[in-house]
Chain A
């Protein structure tokens, strides 16, 4: 079955540091890949997505490239801010699944210190 593995947290960084959160996946079909962010006490917000190999998703300074050869979708940001502190979830949606339900990774908590 489909699965998503992402690096365990927490990840603690100083403001303006470079961020990488690793994410790898296994899927039987041709998945779309997503990064969601969850701020404390809130639901999930879509951060970025990519629907096919070599696509790069980007938003709010975050980027992730769909790498089919390494089955990866690592999240990066060049300079993090305190306001980026949240939990980040990598997820995939396999087009072979009816309704496109999501399979989530375990989540990575990011803490950015001033």
Chain B
């Protein structure tokens, strides 16, 4: 069964609004979670590393003010896409490590109209 749950799986929002995506580790604690982004027909690119109780670490070129990450507990990390634009439309996926193995959420397909 799934060990990392991501919600929602699909979301459509209007330009200028914000969208929150949740990533939960279901039966283990994760001090670190990762957020990836996948453009159509492309590979996954790491956006940021979410650290429980501290600030996230963003990869070069990722706007921290636009992609807000909160990791307030050992089982939940959230990614908020603020002031969304059509170019933010993408597939976002999180992962958490359990027993040294990465597990992925189901992914969230965001469409900004």
Contact = CB atoms under 8 A, between A and B. Distances in A.
Contacts of B42: 106-107
A104 B105 contact: no
Interface in A14-67: 32, 34, 36, 41-46, 49
A93 B34 CA distance: 13
B79 to A, nearest CB: 15
A102 B43 contact: no
Interface of B is mostly: strand
Nearest to A106: B43
A99 B43 contact: no
Interface of A is mostly: strand
Contacts of A102: 34, 44, 46, 95, 102
A46 B42 CA distance: 18
Interface residues of B, number: 22
Interface in A95-109: 98-107, 109
Nearest to B105: A43
Contact of B34 (A45, A101, A109): A101
A104 B93 contact: no
Interface string A67-100: 0000000000000000000000100010000111
B104 interface: yes
Interface string B32-56: 1010000001111110010000000
B70 interface: no
A88 to B, nearest CB: 11
Q: How large is the interface on A (under 10, 10 to 19, 20 to 34, 35 or more residues)?
A: 20 to 34
Nearest to A95: B100
B29 interface: no
10 contacts: A42-B106, A43-B6, A43-B93, A44-B93, A44-B104, A44-B107, A46-B104, A93-B102, A99-B34, A106-B43
Given A43-B107, A89-B43, 8 more contacts: A34-B102, A41-B109, A43-B104, A101-B49, A104-B43, A104-B44, A106-B42, A106-B43
Interface of B: 6, 32, 34, 41-46, 49, 93, 95, 97, 100-107, 109
